[in-house]
Amino acid sequence: MTIVRFAPSPTGYLHVGGARTALFNWLYARNTGGKFILRIEDTDAKRSTQTATQAILDGLTWLGLDWDDGPYFQSERMSIYQKYAQKLIDENKAYYCTCSVDELDEQKKQAVSIGRAAGYDGRCRDTGAKQGVLRFKTPDGNTVFYDLFRDKFEFENSLIGDFVLVRSDGTPTYNFTCAVDDALMGMTHVIRGDDHIPNTPKQLMIFAALGFNPPKFGHLPLILGTDKSPLSKRHGAVSVMAYQEQGFLPEAMVNYLALLGWSTSDSQQLFSREEMIEKFSLKRITKNPAVFDMEKLQWMNGVYIKQAKPEELASLCKKLQKEETEGTEETKNIQLEEIIKLYQGRIKVLPELYSLADFFFSSEIHIPEEICQEILFKDGVQETLTETKNVLSALEMFDPVTIEEAIRTLAERLGIKAGDIIHPLRAVLTGKKVSPGIFEVCALLGQERVVQRLNATIER
Ligand code: GLU
């Protein structure tokens, strides 16, 4: 059975790269009917926080990436690491080193000056020291692995040197805890960012020293911005939760993240979650850097908004929306859903609704000067608006079909084009030159507000 994991260090929010790593592991587990384990790597007490752990759990939950096992906390597993450290000491595969920082610096300088690698040279190997930092006795030779997504990697062990397993304060290092846990938890595949490539030979050596079978390793390509520099705040939000706050849908986010380094042979862009699970394969993960393109993400989000149920969008909007809107709770809900229906084909992120459809949400409407000049101050417009108001206020039913009929009849009677009524009417009701169909807009605003806005403009 496939066993994979996501193993974040809780030192900040869940960022885009971390979410992509989690997603690929999750997809692989679901695709193969395997197990996805969540492990929080919080041995660094100074940098790990409860808030960050929660942010990571929230991010995964928002994306719908459920784990089958865990979360395990490395901070609760210290006795396990101690046990394996002792095993390595007993087997003469690790030793205490008492070199001071100055000595280490000096040694490094010398090594570099004679053109040797700067890894620790092992001078404390045979001192029999009983305390200090615990170092791994790196064996001679080379460490080789075949990356799942790349070529062969080969490292000269002497260049790595005797690296630290446990610090002098007793805390184990990342490479040590990671290897021990991946072994004990039965990982079959380790899929993670390519920034971990230099750690892999160290972890492989620890696996070998402890007599464990290593998993397969695959390193995911870097994520770049559209300018080809590594993804950073300059390219937009890096935290996954910021996308929730900005009105992105988790389904769109997951779909987008899945394509950062993976594709199908026919370059399919849109996937349901089930389809994504079914089609996912490690064979089609690329080693080339992936580009995070905000415009494409927005486009994709727009597609998902268009397909979403209005009531679901309404409840998301209500969570995002801080300002109060008019009306009772019930009419607000109905209104919001109806407004969403008018706009869901036009917006890319949810908050756009509140700028495009602001005239639905507030009683005050502002008509920009430019629109007044261009549309409302023209000859005859005041009379047309007065006639329109009379006709609309007399209607007994106020649905789009009735309104349209009334406007077209009025245009005929006045001997003008329907557009000569519709453009000023739109300006008055929405303060804009473009909007969804004006008859739908009228119906949704309601007779009272329509007449009120017409009156207010005519008086001006
Ligand atoms: N805890 C490590 C990190 O957050 C990842 C460990 C791993 O995937 O091996 O970078």
- pLDDT level of residue 330 (50, 70, 90 thresholds): low
Structure tokens at 402: 């009735």
* pLDDT of 406 over the 80 cut: yes
Q: Which residues pair with 216 in a beta bridge?
A: 189
* pLDDT of 323 over the 60 cut: no
Percent pLDDT > 70 in the chain is: 97
- pLDDT level of residue 231 (50, 70, 90 thresholds): confident
Average of per-residue pLDDT across 39-68: 95
* Among 458, 459, 412, 453, CA closest to 430: 453
| Catalytic choice (130, 152, 228, 233) | 233
Average of per-residue pLDDT across 233-258: 92
Mutate to test the pocket of ligand 1, among 6, 75, 174 (most ligand atoms within 8 A of CB): 174
Write the single-letter amino acid at 196.
Answer: H
Q: Say if residue 71 is preceded by a cis peptide, omega within 30 of 0.
A: yes
pLDDT 10s digits, 265-305:
999 999 999 999 999 999 999 999 999 999 999 999 999 99
Distance 264 CA to ligand 1 centre (A): 27
Contact by Cβ (8 Å): 224, 16: no
- pLDDT level of residue 116 (50, 70, 90 thresholds): confident
CATH class of 369-459: mainly alpha
Is the dihedral angle over the CA atoms 413, 417, 418, 419 positive or is it negative? Answer: negative
Active site residue 233: yes
Helix, strand, coil shares, percent, the chain, to 5:
50, 10, 35
Alpha-carbon distance 179 to 87, whole Å? 14
* pLDDT of 325 over the 80 cut: no
| Look-up of token digits 């300006």 | 427
* CATH numeric code, 233-307: 1.10.1160.10
Q: Is there an atom of ligand 1 within 6 Å of 42 CB?
A: no
Reply yes or no on domain 78-220 having CATH 3.40.50.620: yes
pLDDT 10s digits, 15-27:
999 999 999 999 9
